[in-house]
């Protein structure tokens, strides 16, 4: 059990793999109650079953973050079951990299829908409860690509810059309600993120680069744990980390 984490009710989107899954495991082990969402219900149900068998409190709810009603349902289930929501981790995202000239317009739409609108739907679902509670913590996942723009990653970078912009506006707007906001901007971490790059040459090149430098998801999970376990009068607004070997 860990002070500042124990007994917190934490909702995590995109918890079926990678950073979200690692964070669910990390926080559940430290005594948080974790409500996990993703589209792959089999994955999150087996994660919930595994953690519950260890004595942890974990509930899985099938959630597509591009559907605002499903995101509201995810958060409402947390509040109905556990009485409140302390942390909303808007983590779901995808990164189908390709240069603009390849005109992968459906993928641009998808990134905007998941990486930006999905985060906004998470905010919309959590905010009314947190305002009523006069407490809460919204954590949005950006990226090193929310700070820099690389050719071939333009639309993804735009979505992650947007996440930082809307998080900064949110930070200022929710001051009257005692709500904390954190942006976490990871560098290259080994997850399933590269599996959804449809352009095979770009996928191969990115895999080759990332496999040489990527770190595990533990730093991300510990960053979330750090932000939420700081005293209530401390607002950790942004954490940016990279593998030591990452040049960009």
Please report, as ranges, the residues that interact with ligand NAP according to CB under 6 A.
Answer: 13-20, 38-40, 43, 63-66, 91-95, 114, 141, 143, 186, 188-189, 191-193
Measured CA to CA, the distance from residue 11 to residue 8 in angstroms comes to 10
The residues that are catalytic are 156
Distances (CA, A) of 3 to 7, 17, 80, 164, 226: 9, 26, 24, 28, 11
Nearest one of 56, 65, 47 to 28, comparing CA atoms: 56
Q: How many CB atoms lie within 10 A of CB 179?
A: 22
Nearer to ligand NAP, 6 or 209 (CB): 209
The smaller minimum CB distance to ligand NAP, of residues 32 and 74, is found at 74
User: What's the helix, strand, coil split of the chain in %, to 5?
Assistant: 50, 15, 30
What phi and psi, each to the nearest 5 degrees, are found at residue 40?
A: -80, 85
Rounded to whole angstroms, how far apart are CA atoms 62 and 205? Answer: 33
Q: How far is the CB of 195 from ligand NAP (least distance, A)?
A: 7
**d(C-alpha 182, C-alpha 195), whole Å:** 27
Select 33 or 142, whichever has its Cβ closest to ligand NAP: 142
Closest CA to 178 of 122, 239, 233: 233
Please, which residue, 132 or 248, has the CB nearer to ligand NAP? 248
């Amino acid at each position: 059990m860990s002070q500042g984490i124990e007994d917190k009710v934490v909702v995590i989107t995109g918890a079926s793999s990678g950073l979200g899954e690692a964070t669910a495991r990390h926080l559940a082990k430290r005594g948080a109650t974790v409500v996990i969402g993703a589209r792959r219900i089999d994955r999150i149900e087996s994660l919930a079953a595994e953690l519950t068998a260890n004595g942890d409190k974990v509930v899985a709810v099938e959630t597509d973050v591009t559907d605002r009603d499903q995101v509201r349902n995810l958060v409402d289930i947390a509040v109905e079951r556990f009485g409140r929501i302390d942390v909303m981790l808007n983590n779901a995202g995808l990164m189908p990299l390709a240069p603009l000239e390849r005109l992968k317009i459906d993928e641009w739409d998808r990134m905007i829908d998941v990486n930006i609108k999905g985060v906004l739907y998470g905010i919309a679902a959590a905010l009314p409860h947190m305002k009523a509670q006069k407490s809460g913590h919204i954590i949005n996942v950006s990226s090193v690509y929310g700070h820099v723009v690389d050719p071939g990653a333009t639309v993804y970078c735009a979505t992650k810059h947007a996440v930082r912009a809307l998080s900064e506006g949110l930070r200022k707007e929710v001051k009257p309600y005692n709500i904390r906001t954190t942006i976490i901007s990871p560098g290259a971490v080994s997850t399933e993120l590269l599996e959804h790059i449809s352009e095979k040459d770009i996928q191969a090149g990115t895999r080759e680069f990332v496999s040489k430098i990527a770190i595990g998801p533990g730093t991300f999970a510990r960053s979330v744990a750090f932000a939420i376990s700081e005293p209530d009068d401390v607002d950790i607004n942004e954490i940016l980390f990279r593998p030591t070997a990452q040049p960009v």
